[in-house]
């Protein structure tokens, strides 16, 4: 069980190491190193997704490990409360950033709009109310980025229990 302690409550996550072994290991490696501690959910698009795993509260981007292979062909779907790897337009560009779907986003499933889609590697198993609260926060522009929560949503600690 993975616990994300945030300033809005705790989110409990399980990863699917069978269907998304590379992504699940990548995520747990970041957790074990303390990488996600004191990061923020830096992008919130209401009724779409909440994204974290890359920025500090001052909107400085953290240096990451190597990019990983896109495992979106694993059969898992971008359903509400699932976790997926965030990436750029390049299919195999995911590193530390992830997002939690706040509604069913089937258009992100393999093959998606670009022949790849976005890899689902886990799901929220407790703390749905926290995800729902984060989904509702007011957002604006900060540090050259849009959809940034006006009041920081901070991951104070992430760990494996």
pLDDT of residue 2: 98
pLDDT of residue 140: 97
For 104, half-sphere exposure in the C-beta direction (CA atoms, 13 angstrom radius) is 3
Distance CA 116, CA 84 (A): 13
pTM higher than 0.85 for the full model? yes
Mean pLDDT of residues grouped by 10 in the chain (161 residues)? 98 98 98 98 98 97 97 98 97 98 98 96 98 98 95 98 95
Rounded to a whole number of angstroms, the distance between the first and last alpha carbons of the chain is 5
- DSSP assignment of 68-114 equals B---GGGS----TTEEEE---SSTT-BSS-EEEESS--GGGSTTTTT
């Amino acid at each position: 069980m993975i616990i994300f302690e945030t300033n809005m409550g705790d989110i409990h996550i399980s990863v699917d190491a069978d269907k998304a072994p590379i992504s699940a290991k990548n995520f747990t490696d970041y957790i074990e190193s303390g990488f996600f501690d004191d990061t923020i959910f830096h992008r919130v698009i209401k009724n779409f997704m909440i994204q974290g795993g890359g920025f500090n509260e001052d909107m400085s981007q953290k240096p990451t490990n190597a990019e990983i292979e896109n495992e979106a062909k694993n059969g898992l779907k971008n359903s509400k409360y699932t976790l997926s790897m965030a990436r750029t337009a390049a299919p195999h560009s995911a590193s530390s950033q992830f997002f939690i779907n706040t509604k069913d986003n089937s258009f992100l499933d393999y093959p998606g709009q670009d022949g790849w889609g976005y890899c689902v590697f886990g799901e929220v198993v407790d703390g749905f109310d926290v995800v729902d609260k984060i989904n509702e926060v007011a957002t604006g522009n900060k540090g050259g980025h849009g959809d940034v929560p006006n009041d920081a949503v901070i991951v104070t600690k992430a760990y494996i229990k």
